[in-house]
Amino acid sequence: MTDQTMYVILLGPPGAGKGTQAVQTAERTGLLHLSTGDMFRENLRNGTDLGNLAKTYMDKGELVPDDVTIRMLLERIGRDDAKAGCLFDGFPRTVEQAKALDVALTEQGDEIAVTVLIDVSNEEITRRLGGRVSCATCGSVFHEIFNPPNADSPCCDSIKMIQRDDDKPDAIANRLQVYADQTEPLVEYYTESGKLSTVNGEQSPDAVGVDLLAALQAVSS
Ligand code: ADP
Ligand code: ADP
Ligand code: ZN
């Protein structure tokens, strides 16, 4: 699966498990994992103008404006390490972003191979986001109950886990609404272009990973 250009989108509500699956699937397939949320958070840590701008939206659980997000993403996929294909996690999140991505890939003679929807109910999402923590050093994601950090061999030899500001209850409710209003229309968008594949996200992370890999294999032969 590594010797061809393959662009894959992971779609799903906040907390569906996109990041968790993207990390594992990138390792297995050699695809480059690109998370727009991670890019914004990295800019924020580095104190860039882009990071400071993004923060004003992220804190409220709103989307960063399309023009800014699209420019950042297109610049990133133009770099050499992304030329062999990527696994998009958290992008696109609006129809405008999806269209901009389609245009850019068409211009370079490529297209999306498949968009995989990780399907999870709102109740499960609230449980997942409420317990999500990440390593203060490397950002690896854990869950206080479903995927706790290992006390015997802590991540980065550190026991410090932090909760994202936007994983607090008020921001979670808003993010679910923003998903329903602005991102869920992408399910129809990719269904119409025949690119949508849905996996049941309410299984163990390993079982979701098996289904995800099968969805990629179905389009890569
Ligand atoms: P989640 O884990 O909830 O899916 P992400 O880490 O992907 O969240 O994104 C966190 C925040 O970063 C979003 O709530 C939004 O403010 C911003 N963001 C990330 N990706 C995008 C995007 N494609 N378009 C607009 N805003 C985005
Ligand atoms: P997203 O990137 O879609 O926002 P994450 O991958 O960050 O989602 O997962 C959200 C939370 O749910 C994290 O705390 C993660 O450890 C946990 N999680 C991910 N996949 C599963 C799963 N299949 N079952 C239970 N918890 C999960
Ligand atoms: Zn770590």
| 16-48 pLDDT tens trace | 999 999 999 999 999 999 999 999 999 999 999
Three-state SS at 13: coil
The one catalytic residue among 41, 93, 128, 195: 93
**Does residue 16 line the site of ligand 2, with CB under 6 A?**
yes
| DSSP characters over 109-146 | T--EEEEEEEE--HHHHHHHHHTEEEETTT--EEETTT
Q: Is 101 exposed, middle or buried (0-12, 13-18, 19+ CB in 10 A)?
A: buried
Rounded Cα distance between 201 and 208, Å, is: 6
- In whole angstroms, give the CA distance from residue 18 to residue 20: 6
> Shortest CA distance to 21 belongs to which of 152, 201, 158?
201
d(CA 115, CA 101): 13
One-letter amino acid at 67 equals: D
Residue of 139, 145, 140 lying closest to 127 (CA atoms) = 145
Candidates 18, 41, 128, 195; catalytic one:
18
Pocket around ligand 1 at a 6 A CB cut-off: 14, 36-37, 40, 57-58, 61-64, 69, 90-91, 93, 97, 166, 175
Instruction: Tell whether ligand 2 has an atom less than 6 A from the beta carbon of residue 19.
Output: yes
Kindly state the tokens that stand for 106.
């068409």
Half-sphere exposure of 21 (CA within 13 A, CB side): 34
Residue 1 in this model has a pLDDT that exceeds 80: no
Q: CB–CB of 142/17 below 8 Å?
A: no
**Which of 123, 76, 134 lies closest to 104, judged by CA?**
76
Write the CA distances from 205 to 18, 117, 118, 135, 138, integer angstroms: 10, 15, 11, 19, 20
Instruction: Give the atom of ligand 1 at the shortest distance from the alpha carbon of 73.
Output: 23
pLDDT above 60 for 120: yes
What tens digit of pLDDT does each residue of 121-155 get? 999 999 999 999 999 888 899 999 999 988 787 78
Q: Taking the model in full, what pTM does it have?
A: 0.95
| Tokens 């709102």, located at residue | 122
pLDDT, residue 2, reads: 44
